[in-house]
Amino acid sequence: MTMISAQTTEADLWIDGEWRPAASGERFDVIDPATGEVTARVANAGEDDVDAAVAIAEEAFSDRRWLAISPLERGRILRRIAELIRQHHCELAQLMTRENGMPINLALFIEIPLAADCFDFFASLVVKPQGEVLPFSVAGSAPDYMAWTMKEPIGVAGLITPWNFPLLMPTWKIAPALAAGCTMVVKPAPETPLTALKLAEICHEAGVPEGVINVLPGLDEAGKALVRHPRVPKIAFTGETETGRHILQAAAPHIKRVTLELGGKSPNIIFADADLEQAAKSALFGVFYNSGQVCQAGSRILVERTVYEPFVERLAERAKKLKVGPGTNPRSDLGPVISREQYEKVLRYIEIGKQEGARLAAGGRALDGGGGGYFIEPTVFADVSPSMRIACEEIFGPVAAVIPFADEEEAVRIANGTMYGLAAAVWTNDIKRALRLARRVKSGTVWLNTYQVLSPTAPFGGYKQSGLGRELGMQALDAYLETKTVICDLNDRPMTLF
């Protein structure tokens, strides 16, 4: 019987397949961003809880309670998780909207199907961690050797997830970790703990044994303790670049395996020969989806100068027609931003844009959502120069910076001109130009004549300070595996030097 629902007002930690209070007895508030009011109180995990959860996960890994299940059955369990996510779609959507403010249609038709597909994809990879037989010889020795590699799960994985996609981000880590054979401790963002706890329940219902998945909601202490823990050899984190730097430093003493999916300031490059109507529609989705709270948001829109003004006008008019409101309203295109802190940050950047001399073409104001929530108009700045802060720094809100460029060389120079390299797009009907830019733009994903389309089959991650390693695809599975080489001497007399 599931315990987390859209009406849950209190929740504990999920450790060893059961609910446990935090060792300290402390709780923290979960705020509904559409109202600014407390919607739930959740146990606040601390260092003692991390120690307990890691011990449970380590025991589950050591006794092979997950790995002892046949690979085909483990694949079936992952597929059952996918099916249960689909069955619980209404409840999950309501939870996400309540915690995150995401418009319910986006939750129902984008995030939940993608999460289910992710478990289906990694179910197919459970049998893929295979080694290979190697040609092997030793100089000066008889030739009879046999060598091969084995793929083995790393062990206990510490998974730290953000608030912007409360179901999808835990899924991107839990699914490959399970497929690889790891056990795990999950630390969800404090803004959105209930969805992650619900996912843990779903995994348990599907047949994942106790202790394999442990979920510790909490504030900063739990995340820091998990990263520092000497018996957690793997850390996977999605979040801000600055936090990623701190995680690398904290993980260094134990030489942990670390994957980071960090920030972005992604360029969406539009040439004059593109379908401008379609490019404008896609750019709108690229920057305002989930109220701009997307790491790969196309927040820098680079437009060829000969069509710059018509494009800005088209984009601004479309932005003004977007409906901002509570995520529970099916007509809302944008919900609130996640928190008071984020709301104030985005409004500060809007003021910075004005002070820097950018032209406000649309939006720029805070909105009254009717209940004290954190609503901001979709905002379009024109006449933005590449050196402006609104063009260089990740805002993580509904703010677009539209930058003109003269030619292909300038477009590439501007596109590559930040510390980030997460995603990019190129809009053109010139196939040679599209392929040239796909090679020249330094980012982990380059979309051609589209934006913001993802699949669990395709790896996702960043160049430069947008991250280390990849989520999704075969590469995500490799991030939770070690390679062992085994060498067997088949000669009658083993080689010796003495």
Q: What type of residue is 53?
A: A
- CA distance linking residue 270 with residue 216, whole number of Å: 43
- CA distance linking residue 39 with residue 330, whole number of Å: 21
- The structure tokens listed for 95 are 């939870």
- CA distance linking residue 373 with residue 367, whole number of Å: 9
Contacts of 153 (CB under 8 A, 6+ apart): 61, 67, 129, 180, 181, 182, 480, 481, 482
CB atoms within 10 A of CB 38: 12
- CA distance linking residue 394 with residue 413, whole number of Å: 19
The upper half-sphere exposure of residue 41, i.e. CA atoms within 13 Å in the direction of its Cβ, equals 5
Question: Residues 232, 185: contact at Cβ < 8 Å?
Answer: yes
The upper half-sphere exposure of residue 288, i.e. CA atoms within 13 Å in the direction of its Cβ, equals 29
What is the phi/psi pair of residue 317, to 5°?
A: -65, -40
Q: Is 16 left (phi over 0), alpha (psi -120 to 50) or beta?
A: left
Counting every residue written for the chain, the total comes to: 498
**If we measure between CA atoms, which residue out of 246, 251, 240, 53 comes closest to residue 162?**
240
- CA distance linking residue 106 with residue 118, whole number of Å: 17
- CA distance linking residue 386 with residue 406, whole number of Å: 13
Distances 126 to 69, 93, 174, 443 between C-alpha atoms, Å: 11, 28, 13, 29
- CA distance linking residue 122 with residue 308, whole number of Å: 43
Q: Which of 111, 261, 394, 408 is flagged as catalytic? A: 261
**If we measure between CA atoms, which residue out of 498, 496, 495 comes closest to residue 142?**
495
**Residue 351 annotated among the catalytic residues of the structure:** no
- The structure tokens listed for 16 are 């060893």
- Angle (nearest 5°) at CA 22 between 20 and 28: 120
For residue 328, the 8-state DSSP code is T
CB atoms within 10 A of CB 437: 23
User: Which SS3 state, helix, strand or coil, does residue 30 take?
Assistant: strand
- Active-site residues, by number, are 261
